[in-house]
Homo-oligomer: A and B are copies of this chain.
């Protein structure tokens, strides 16, 4: 049996298809009598508009897509908790896609692909993509970039001040009297911009305290996840002069590092203090609880959606905005120890 269409409803109600459309969309002025007739017909036939057809006719889909590297990274999952309701409130439906941090895939998504037509705009958190890659993006696609890139003026960028936040984190370790501070999570140019900014903060904090940086304590990892954190920590502990504190570039890395420490029977923070980044829920429940940098996720989410929708609805080109959310240092047990 065929799906009922606008025309079927129109026939039953004795009006033109256009009028049914007007009722369905709440458009224009429709007399109460007409509206009621049409609504009765709709109910009777169980009519539902075909969004596909509507989208084709209007050229817009009412959907925005949020593209993240990994859905199983709690930071993104938590960010989405802010993005989804914010977008819904503005009448947009949110769908999520993941790239596995794969450069090809990311490229395809921001490039001039045919999926373009499915979405009115995109909130994108790049990982494998370098700044140059971003240049080949589809200029038609309203875009808000999350994270650490800076905008070239044709899209918006929303994030926190990574250098300042990282400086705060490391300064905290220094203020606790730690002498040999390692960093886990650096990544080489050109793709690891987030990581490089954090390393920059790491250096800045040392400089501000008049301390030299031991370059051998800056450890690169492929990803910001637990496995890599544990592996890097284990490697540090195998050395003759292990660190007494570690700045981890994400809470997941920190969680992995703590795991590696516990496996060797070392105590956090007595033997090694750990600070993470992102403030995921996990860190508030782990043992010890993880000191971290807390970005204002709600503000980031709200801002990203606002900017994107502005971009979608504005007929004229919108200048790219660089927007920094607040961040806070949250000191917990992994640096302060158990306080009671």
Binding site for B on A (CB under 8 A): 46, 48-53, 55-56, 61, 63, 65, 71-72, 74, 77-78, 80-81, 84, 93-98, 112-118, 226, 230, 255-256, 258-259, 262, 281-282, 285-287
Residues B285 and A118 in contact, CB atoms below 8 Å apart: no
Residues A95 and B96 in contact, CB atoms below 8 Å apart: yes
Q: Residues of B contacting A255 with CB < 8 Å?
A: 282, 285-286
Complex CA gap A281/B280 in Å reads: 14
Determine which of B49, B55, B226, B282 lies in contact with A52 in the assembled complex, contact meaning CB atoms within 8 Å. Answer: B55
Residues B230 and A285 in contact, CB atoms below 8 Å apart: yes
Q: Residues of B contacting A285 with CB < 8 Å?
A: 226, 230, 255-256, 258-259
Across the A-B interface, give the 5 residue pairs with the lowest CB-CB distance, nearest first: A72-B77, A95-B95, A96-B96, A259-B285, A52-B117
Complex CA gap A41/B282 in Å reads: 53
Min CB distance A66 to B, Å, is: 9
Given contacts A84-B98, A281-B72, contact A52 B48 (CB under 8 A): no
Min CB distance A163 to B, Å, is: 28
Residues B74 and A80 in contact, CB atoms below 8 Å apart: no
Additional 13 contacts, C-beta under 8 A, given A74-B74, A262-B287: A48-B112, A48-B116, A50-B56, A51-B114, A51-B115, A52-B61, A72-B78, A77-B77, A93-B115, A96-B96, A259-B285, A282-B282, A287-B287
Min CB distance A273 to B, Å, is: 16
Complex CA gap A226/B50 in Å reads: 41
Determine which of B48, B78, B97 lies in contact with A95 in the assembled complex, contact meaning CB atoms within 8 Å. Answer: B97
- What's the number of copies of this chain in the assembled complex? 2
Min CB distance A159 to B, Å, is: 20
Q: Residues of B contacting A77 with CB < 8 Å?
A: 71-72, 77
Complex CA gap A210/B99 in Å reads: 51
Determine which of B50, B112, B114 lies in contact with A114 in the assembled complex, contact meaning CB atoms within 8 Å. Answer: B50
Residues B71 and A96 in contact, CB atoms below 8 Å apart: yes
Q: Residues of B contacting A46 with CB < 8 Å?
A: 112
Residues B49 and A114 in contact, CB atoms below 8 Å apart: yes
Q: Residues of B contacting A113 with CB < 8 Å?
A: 48
Q: Residues of B contacting A118 with CB < 8 Å?
A: 51-52, 63
Min CB distance A25 to B, Å, is: 12
Min CB distance A303 to B, Å, is: 20
Complex CA gap A11/B96 in Å reads: 37
Complex CA gap A56/B113 in Å reads: 18
Residues B117 and A51 in contact, CB atoms below 8 Å apart: yes
Closest to A53 in B: B56
Residues A71 and B81 in contact, CB atoms below 8 Å apart: yes
Residues A114 and B72 in contact, CB atoms below 8 Å apart: no
Residues B256 and A48 in contact, CB atoms below 8 Å apart: no
Closest to A75 in B: B72
Q: Residues of B contacting A258 with CB < 8 Å?
A: 285, 287
Complex CA gap A63/B119 in Å reads: 13
